[in-house]
Structure formats: structure tokens, C-alpha cells
Amino acid sequence: MTEMGGTPIPHAPGFVANDTPRIVTARFDYEDSHTLERYEATGGYRGLRKALERTPEEVQTQVRDATLLGRGGAGFPAGVKWGFCPPGVWPRYLVVNGDESEPGTYKDRLLMELDPHQLIEGCLIACYAVGLSQCFLYIRGEMAVAQERVARALNDAYSAGYIGKNILDTEFSVDIILHWGAGAYVVGEETALIESLEGNRGMPRLKPPYFPASIGLYGQPTIVNNVETLSNLPWILEHGVEAFTGIGTESSPGTRMVAVSGHVQRPGVYEIVNGTTTFRDLLYSKEMCGGIRDDNQLKAFVPGGGSAPWFTADQLDLPFEASQVGPQGSMLGSGAIMVMDETTDIPAAALTLTKFYAHESCGKCVPCREGGTWLEQILRRVVDGRGTPRDLELLIEVGETICPGDFPHAAIPSKGIEAVPFPYRMTTICFVGPSAFAPIHSALTLFREEFEAKVAGNENRTMIEVAVDVR
């Protein structure tokens, strides 16, 4: 397989098949799922052919009618996003967001390693529908195997006439250029992704404009879509809008991939029915995660990637439906569920996330650059037993500089805690700053007693004593 010597390293494990409909993972059972031969033998590039039989406008309408919600985190409908391109402004570009790095998120890498042609076909359909004249497939730098799989798939698809000049002997022509990053979480934010693709430091751009569809790459209209979102397109084109909207609910049709990690019996990546599957189905059913490890009790879980406010057992019956999860204080985000059982040291767990976001701050906005580091330092001394009760207030104070007002959190009826709905207000350009505060706020709101236990006995320590006590 490799051209520079050596034999390939096995691809990613993690996917668990179950009996729900399989839209994007249908080929995952084949060992050669990433090859053009297998892709063509299993209906591959049929969606593209169907698209090319229609006008671009018809394809755009179809995708809009399918209510394909973006799978990257924000959940914005792809068809609506496409419609934001200003009329008459050319050229337009497609940038594929394959920079998956939200803590807990593990699906785009599987799609790129196991079914790269499906992604390529999705890119082609998008380019045809919206008149995008060049596509840049941006893969996270730290994913060497995904880069190899996609490079090979692109080479094969170019040779077979699926990409490049006069695709399938039509007047539709587009290049797909493989591009890759070099390690920066914030580049997953779409305007930072564009900055990075222009050869700059990957810092998010000021908003407005809110969507790069109006001003994006080189100042031109640019569509930025997530890998999983685009991977849905071939199926929608091949099977039709009704088949797609027939799965899941009206506002959240189709399926979505979720990764469940942490303290469950069977961690894994699952393709689940959107809108109807509940967190309880996912975490406790025999077909999926099979319950909490060692028959322990569930303490808390992160429902939508490291940035999402936490849930507890009280929210298990919520379905994967944004309109229900939002009012309960969190978000579905990137489909990443991280599970903590009763043995978990909650402040320490929160620290692993806050440390991540503090580290990944790009430095553009002061509240995030300074606040993230402060939050990490204060929380670290609390976790180590060096903090004081005043530190717990300080955490909130610093957090409120990044996110003024009530920060969203889940309800715990038994403790008399009511939910504050998502989203939050923020003083930063992007969500990295608020994300450093989210785990702390959730942990402090839901499990304050664990923090108080860590600072107990330190009431009389002065700030100077705390500051010089560096371990």
C-alpha cells in the first residue's frame, strides 16, 4: 500500500455495529472498505451520478429538504448554510473540516480511514450543487493513517475520472486538494480553519460575518462542512429525501455517529438513529454500551464533547434532539459522550478538560488567553489540596469574565437545582474560552461538596501561602 516503503499500520478500531439503519458506516464491515473496488461494488458514486442528472439547484433543494444537520458541533443545517453564498460572487470554495479534535470526539477519523470515497463523493456533490470551483480537504495533522487512506482514495478517484476535468464526461470539473494541519485544536473553528489554509496562524476571525459562506477563503464565499456531514450526501442523493427523513425525527432526521468513552462496559463508536435514541439507550442497552463498568453507578457524563455542560442520571432519558437537550442545559455538539462512574474524582476530571482548553487557547482574546490559564492554575491547587474556599469563588469570578451571566447547566431535582438553558453569552470570538469554564462550572454546580472537601481545613491560608506553595 505505501509507496515510501514499509507495510501499512492497521486502521482504527472502535466501531461497534448494531441493528440501527446504517447510512455512513454501511461499508465498515468490509476489510477493504477504503478501496475504490469495494466502494464501486457497493453502490459507490451512484449518488454523484444521480446528482449530475439533475440541475445544481435541484440538488441544493434536495439537501435543504433533507434537513441534514451539520455534524461538526453547531448542528446548523447544511442546506441552509449553502444558501448563504451571496449571488453572483465567484469563485466559491469548499473546505472540508477534518480537523477532528474536540475531547471525546472520534468519528470523522473513522470515516476518513474506513470510507474515504464516501467523503470524496460527498465533496463532489456539494461542489456541483453550490458551484464550488475548488475543494480543500483539510485533515488533522496528527492523523497519519487517515491522510494515507484519503491520499490513496483521491489518487484512485482521479485516475477513474471521478475528480478533475469533466467528471464522468460532463461539464462539471473540480479539483480536490489534500491539505493537512499541524496540531492546533482551535483550527476546528471554521474561520480559524480558513486562516490556517491561507498559511497563517490558526486564529479565529472576528464576527460578523458569522458565516464564511459570505466572506471566507481569500475573502471569497466558502462553504465549510464537517466530514460526517458530507459523508451523508451520497446516501441522500441515492435513496432520496424521503428515505432520509423517514429515519429519526422531523427536526433531527437520519442517523449520527457517537463515540462513547470512559467508564462503560463497552466503549465504542455507534451509528444511532437521530432524534429518538436516548442517552439511556446508548449507555445501558445490551446492543450498545451495556451499562456502567463493574456495575458501578453513573456519576456524570459529558453529552456532546469536552465543551458541553455535564449531565447526570437525571438527564438519561433525553433523546439526541437539540431542541430537548438545549433547554436542559447542554448541547449535542460533536457526538462525544464521556462517562464518569461513582469512583471518579470530579474536580480532577474537570481539570483534564480545563487544562486542554487552556493549552489550546490561540491567544487572540484576552479573557480566554489569561482566564484559561488562571482557571487551570486555580483548579490545580484545589485538586492538589492546596486551595482555599475563596478559590471556589475565584473560579466562578474568572469564568464569568469569559461568560457573563448565568452559565448553562443541568438540573438535579433531588438537590433542588434547576436547569439553565444552553447557550451562554461570551466575551471571546470563539468557544475555546467558554469551554475552559464549562467543565468547572458543571462540576462545581452539580458536585460542590467534592470541591469543598478538597479545600476543607485551608480556610485560614493566606493567598501568599497558597501562591508560594508550588509543588
Residues in 144-183 at the binding interface with other proteins, rule: CB under 8 A: 144-145, 147-148, 151-152, 154-155, 158-159, 161, 163-165, 170-175, 177-183
Please report how close the Cβ of residue 249 comes to other proteins at its closest, in angstroms.
26
Separation of first and last alpha carbons in the chain: 49
| Grid cell 461570551 in the structure block, residue | 426
Please report how close the Cβ of residue 178 comes to other proteins at its closest, in angstroms.
5
Q: Is 78 in the site for other proteins (CB under 8 A)?
A: no
Q: Is 312 in the site for other proteins (CB under 8 A)?
A: no
Distance (Å, whole) CA 460 – CA 331 = 40
Cell digits for 425?
A: 453569552
Neighbours of 210 (CB within 10 A): 10
Region near other proteins per CB under 8 A, out of 4-12, 35-43, 248-256, 399-407:
4-12
In 381-434, which ranges are E strands? none
Peptide bond into 209 cis (omega under 30): yes
- How many helices (H) and strands (E) would you count in the chain? 19, 8
Region near other proteins per CB under 8 A, out of 5-13, 233-241, 389-397, 400-408:
5-13
Q: Which of 6, 208, 405, 416 binds other proteins (CB under 8 A)?
A: 6
Q: Which of 37, 91, 294, 323 binds other proteins (CB under 8 A)?
A: 91
| Grid cell 470570538 in the structure block, residue | 429
Q: Is 80 in the site for other proteins (CB under 8 A)?
A: no
Q: Is 184 in the site for other proteins (CB under 8 A)?
A: yes
Q: Which is nearer to other proteins, 219 or 457 (CB)?
A: 219
3-state class (DSSP) for residue 192? helix
Residues 388 to 447 in contact with other proteins, rule: CB under 8 A: none
Q: Which of 219, 246, 404, 457 binds other proteins (CB under 8 A)?
A: 219
Q: Which of 32, 352, 385, 404 binds other proteins (CB under 8 A)?
A: 352
The DSSP call for residue 18 is -
Residues 98 to 137 in contact with other proteins, rule: CB under 8 A: 100-106, 108-109, 128-131, 133-134
Please report how close the Cβ of residue 239 comes to other proteins at its closest, in angstroms.
23
Residues 7 to 26 in contact with other proteins, rule: CB under 8 A: 7-9, 12-14
The DSSP call for residue 319 is B
Region near other proteins per CB under 8 A, out of 73-81, 196-204, 313-321, 449-457:
196-204
Please report how close the Cβ of residue 419 comes to other proteins at its closest, in angstroms.
23
Please report how close the Cβ of residue 209 comes to other proteins at its closest, in angstroms.
17
3-state class (DSSP) for residue 30? coil
Q: Which is nearer to other proteins, 233 or 349 (CB)?
A: 349
Please report how close the Cβ of residue 32 comes to other proteins at its closest, in angstroms.
16
Q: Is 359 in the site for other proteins (CB under 8 A)?
A: yes
Residues 31 to 70 in contact with other proteins, rule: CB under 8 A: 55-57, 60
Residues 268 to 307 in contact with other proteins, rule: CB under 8 A: 268-269, 302, 306
Please report how close the Cβ of residue 267 comes to other proteins at its closest, in angstroms.
4
Please report how close the Cβ of residue 427 comes to other proteins at its closest, in angstroms.
23
**Residue count, binding to other proteins (CB under 8 A):** 102
Distance (Å, whole) CA 340 – CA 332 = 17
Region near other proteins per CB under 8 A, out of 138-146, 235-243, 244-252, 456-464:
138-146
Q: Which of 263, 386, 409, 441 binds other proteins (CB under 8 A)?
A: 263
Q: Is 310 in the site for other proteins (CB under 8 A)?
A: no
Strand pairing category for 132-139 and 336-341: unpaired
Q: Which is nearer to other proteins, 101 or 231 (CB)?
A: 101
Q: Is 261 in the site for other proteins (CB under 8 A)?
A: yes
State residue 47 phi and psi, 5-degree precision.
-60, -40
Beta-bridge mates of residue 95: 136, 224
Q: Is 218 in the site for other proteins (CB under 8 A)?
A: yes
Q: Which is nearer to other proteins, 87 or 413 (CB)?
A: 87
Q: Is 202 in the site for other proteins (CB under 8 A)?
A: yes
